Amino acid sequence: MDNREILVYGTLENWDLGRFVPVNEADKCHYGGYQEWLTEAGVPKFYADRSCGVTAATNLLFYLATNKPGMSKLCDHLGDTKAEYNAFQKELFDFFSPSFFGVPTINYLIKRVEQYSQKKGAPLKAVQSAFVWSVDNVRAYITKGLNS
């Protein structure tokens, strides 16, 4: 019998506004970034296509910087325009230095996020869990982390 903790789906603070990571572009509002935007910052398409981990980290750090007290140091490009988001995404791309495989493992992603946050003076520490993996449990785990 599996005795691991089962988590229940939760909700993000500010989620009711539908504005997890608002990125404004002319008459559109995106909710989070897009890795292909890195090409507009000079990253070759080949590497932009392999930068989903960078974009996920950008969304995470931007959300924490704009929604959590004491975390604004994580992002020097606070603002809601595509240009500001993309400048931050490019900064993280340069910091993560993804290979031709992208960000190779979740452990590498965790290590680089922790190193980046430490460097910025707002240290983060990954919390891993052994709960049963399901869509609802993953959502709840992410929600709990973002709301902590």
Domain of 47, in residue numbers: 17-147
* Mean pLDDT within 65-71: 89
Instruction: Confirm if 60 and 33 have CB atoms less than 8 A apart.
Output: no
**Mean pLDDT across the chain, nearest whole number?**
84
Specify if 96 maps to a domain.
yes
* 99 token code pair: 């290979």
Mean pLDDT confidence for 69-79: 87
Domain assignment of residue 8, yes or no: no
Other beta carbons less than 10 A from residue 44's beta carbon: 9
- Assigned domain for 111 exists: yes
**95: Cα within 13 Å, side-chain hemisphere:** 24
> Is residue 127 in some structural domain?
yes
Which of 4-8, 76-80, 103-107, 144-148 has the highest mean predicted lDDT (pLDDT)?
103-107
Contact 92/41 with Cβ under 8 angstroms? no
pTM > 0.75: yes or no: yes
The DSSP 8-state label assigned to residue 133 in this structure reads P
Nearest residue to 136 via CA among 5, 9, 4: 9
Contact 61, 74 (CB under 8 A): yes
d(CA 128, CA 143): 14
Across 29-54, average pLDDT: 93
Total number of domains constituting the chain: 1
Q: Is residue 38 part of a domain?
A: yes
